[in-house]
Amino acid sequence: MLDRFYQEVILDHYRNPRGRGHLEPPKIVQEGMNPLCGDEITLELRVRDGVIEDIAFDGHGCAISQASASMLVEAVKGKSVAEAEEFLQQVLAMFRGDVEPDESRFGELAYLAGVRFIPQRTKCATLAWHTLEEALQHTNGQTP
C-alpha cells in the first residue's frame, strides 16, 4: 500500500515535472550524464546575492531520474547556495545509505530512497544531484 503511494508520487513528478524548461539569462548552465545509460540532464540556475532565485531542468531519462530532478527543483529553489550544498550532500548520503530517508528532512525525496539498494537505479536518482553539485561549484554566490 505504502509502496504504491510512493510510486504514485514518483510518477506524478515524472508526468508533471516541476521546473522543466529554461530560464532567461543570466544563468548558470550545467550538463550531466548518467554514464550507465547515456541519459542527460541540463540544470539552469539563476543565483543572486547567494540565493538560488530560480532553477529549471531539461533532458531525458527514466522516471526515477526525472522525478528526482523535479523534486530537486522544489527542494532547492529559494535556498542559499550554502544551504543547497549542505542539503544535496545529505541527499547523496541518503542515496548511499549513510543517512536514513527521514521524510521530515527530505520530503518526497525520501520516497526515492528505495533505489539505494539497486546501484544502477541509484545512478538515476543521483544524476540531477551530482549535476547540481557541479553547478554550485560555478557560483561564488553571485550571478555569473
- The answer to whether 81 contacts ligand FES (rule: CB under 6 A) is no
65 or 131, CB closer to ligand FES?
65
Q: How far is CA 65 from the centre of its chain?
A: 8
73, 124, 132, 136: residue in contact with ligand FES (rule CB under 6 A) = 124
Burial of 40 (0-12, 13-18, 19+ CB in 10 A): middle
Sequence-separated contacts (24+) of 44-48 with Cβ below 8 Å = 45/135, 45/139, 46/143, 47/81, 47/139, 47/141, 47/142, 47/143, 48/142, 48/143
Please report, as residue ranges, which positions from 12 to 41 form the binding site for ligand FES (by CB under 6 A).
Answer: 34, 37, 39
Residue 80 near residue 51, CB atoms below 8 Å: yes
62, 90, 114, 130: residue in contact with ligand FES (rule CB under 6 A) = 62
Stretch that binds ligand FES, among 24-32, 42-50, 60-68, 130-138 (CB under 6 A): 60-68
Q: How far is the CB of 112 from ligand FES (least distance, A)?
A: 12
Give the footprint of ligand FES on this chain (CB under 6 A).
34, 37, 39, 61-62, 64-65, 124, 127
